[in-house]
Structure 1
Amino acid sequence: MILPAFTTPGQFWRGNIHTHSNRTDGVLPPEEVCRRYKAQGYDFLALTDHFVGLWDYPIVDTKPMRDAEFTTILGAELHTGAMENGEIWHILAVGLPEDFARPNTPDFAPRADQESGPSLAQRAVDAGAFVAIAHPQWSGLTLADARSLTAAHAVEIYNHGCYVGCDRPDGTAIADLLLSEGRALSFIATDDAHFHEADHFGGWVMVKSETNTPDQLLAALKAGAFYSSQGPELHHVEVTDTHVVVESSAVESVIVQGHGSAAQAVHGPSMTRTTVSLAGLETSPWLRVTVRDGAGKRAWSNPVQLEA
């Protein structure tokens, strides 16, 4: 089995799908945010400002920032209701229509009469969005919270802003538990940049499609035709009955993770084609791959749910 990112026709496009501007709590105007990402070699950006009444529920119109080399996908970070820890939900929605119906979310204080987080996520999916569980470690998300968000396509596996600001960037624990319960999920790495600290250009998705257009990029995200990275490149990931073959830029570790504590790793200098045995992973219902380069930067494949 070859993962969809490496069989889908087209080429890889680099994008960030979680970022903020001064339309909400970011520092820079939308035009400057887009300019900086384009200048840094990104092919696309989803500006996802906070969809709350405090800022008049913005779905920022970034269409004027598109050109022949750079495109944008409309989106927002949605909020409503309370998680188990009493704090409001944070739900990433990329590909929202501009007329998406507003929840009753005047600010970041949960209210008893609000729509639930799972309901809002489902509405976003029904409206055509790619929906992700945002920064689960930062949010204090519980497994019960994550289970309830049944409409989500993805988990934020790495959030660079949460790494810089509070050293809580991770989504692996929640993601792995959901995978072991049979959830079909993809992984995204993002910036969640606000530009008030060095919270930008640290995590991105590499999306495979024939054109760098919003509709094709969104379809590829939903189909799982991408991988996530802090720097390393993945060129090929193939799963057989006995091993995983990974072709990549030069890395020093290739790790295959599975259910519970199951994992296998190969380490070495400047590895570009690596075969990892699945010994000890034979009964895992899912697998995923992480590579790590000499600078400690990682890239993540999307998970594979295996036949029982």
Structure 2
Amino acid sequence: MTDAMFAAPGTFWRGNLHTHSTRSDGVLSPEEVCRRYAAEGYDFISLTDHFIGQFDYPITDTTAYRTNRFTTIPGAELHSGAMQNGELWHILAVGLPADFAPGNAPGFRPVEGQETGPEIAARARAAGAFVAVAHPEWSGLTTEDARSIEAAHAVEVYNHGCAMGCDRPHGFYTLDQLLTEGRRLDLCATDDAHFSEPDHFGGWVMVKAQENDPDALVEALKAGHHYSSQGPLIHNVGWEDGRVVVESSAVASVIVQGIGSAAVAVHGDSMTRTEVPLGRCQGSPFLRLSVIDRAGKRAWTNPVYPG
């Protein structure tokens, strides 16, 4: 069985889903942010400035910076309500309409009477956005917190800004806990770029869509037709009886992960077609893949659900 993403028609487009500008707490103008991502070979970005009153609830209009080879998706990082640790929720929403209604979030601290995180996430999904739980490790997110975001399409499993700024970049534990409970969620890697430190061009998504068009990209994200990367390319994944066959750029490790401690790894040199026996991962309700190159850069597939 070929993974549905690779069987789907279209082309892979490289993009960053989490970016900030001077419309909130970034240091570069929206125009310069778009210019830099285009110059670095990205096909698209979503400018996701902080959706709070302090910045006048921005959904930054980037349509003027689109070209015939680079596009932009409207979005925002939403904030409302307190997590269990008392801090404000951070919810990534890509593909928000320009008229998405502000809540009551004046700043970066929770206030009485505002929407909860689950409520604003649900409102964003109902408005057509691709919704992801942002930087769980950085936020100090509990599994109970994460469980409450029923509207999420994905968990942000790698955040490059959090890697560079505090060495808390991951969300894999959060994702796997929810998968173990039976949730079906995808994953995404992002920059969370503010350009105030080396927080850019470090993690991205490869989205398979028939056009490099905002609506087509958002629909492909929602459908799970994307993988995440720091560098390696994944060309095809075939799940067969008792094994998985992975075609990729040259890598040194391919790892299958399943429920609990279930994992199987194959290591080698310059591997471009790698067969991994499922071994103790057989019978797991979900399976996902990591590929790692010689420089330690990784790429990750969304989970699949055997049976």
**Alignment map for 1:143-158 (pairs within 5 Å):** 143-158=143-158
Matched letter for residue 150 of structure 1: E
State the distance in 2 between where 1:190 and 1:174 align.
16
Please state how far the C-alpha of 1:4 moved relative to its aligned partner.
2.4
Matched letter for residue 8 of structure 2: T
**Alignment map for 1:45-84 (pairs within 5 Å):** 45-84=45-84
Matched letter for residue 256 of structure 1: V
Match status 1:186 vs 2:194: no
State the distance in 2 between where 1:119 and 1:183 align.
18
Match status 1:6 vs 2:6: yes
Please state how far the C-alpha of 1:241 moved relative to its aligned partner.
3.0
The answer on whether the counterparts of 1:4 and 1:226 sit within 8 Å (CA) in structure 2 is no
Percent identity reads: 66
Please state how far the C-alpha of 1:281 moved relative to its aligned partner.
1.2
**Alignment map for 1:123-202 (pairs within 5 Å):** 123-202=123-202
Matched letter for residue 36 of structure 1: R
**Alignment map for 1:221-260 (pairs within 5 Å):** 221-260=221-260
Matched letter for residue 275 of structure 1: E
In structure 2, the residue matched to 1:42 is 42
State the distance in 1 between where 2:146 and 2:97 align.
25
Out of 176-185 and 2-11, give the one that drifted further: 2-11
Please state how far the C-alpha of 1:112 moved relative to its aligned partner.
2.6
In structure 1, the residue matched to 2:116 is 116
Classify the secondary structure of the residue corresponding to 1:100. coil
**Alignment map for 1:205-216 (pairs within 5 Å):** 205-216=205-216
Structure 1: where are the runs of 5+ without partners?
none
In structure 2, the residue matched to 1:277 is 277
How many equivalent pairs are there? Answer: 307
**Alignment map for 1:86-97 (pairs within 5 Å):** 86-97=86-97
The answer on whether the counterparts of 1:13 and 1:209 sit within 8 Å (CA) in structure 2 is yes
State the distance in 2 between where 1:226 and 1:291 align.
15
Matched letter for residue 264 of structure 2: Q
In structure 2, the residue matched to 1:85 is 85
Q: Deviations over 1:76-104 (max 9, x none)?
A: 00000000000000000000000001110
State the distance in 2 between where 1:281 and 1:112 align.
46
Task: Using structure 2 for the length normalisation, give the TM-score.
Answer: 0.99
State the distance in 2 between where 1:71 and 1:172 align.
29
In structure 2, the residue matched to 1:304 is 304
Structure 2: where are the runs of 5+ without partners?
none
The two structures, once aligned, show a CA RMSD in angstroms of 0.6
State the distance in 1 between where 2:242 and 2:4 align.
20
- Any runs of at least 4 consecutive aligned residues in structure 1 with deviations exceeding 3 A, and if so which? none
State the distance in 2 between where 1:234 and 1:73 align.
24
**Alignment map for 1:93-108 (pairs within 5 Å):** 93-108=93-108
State the distance in 2 between where 1:49 and 1:124 align.
15
Task: Using structure 1 for the length normalisation, give the TM-score.
Answer: 0.99
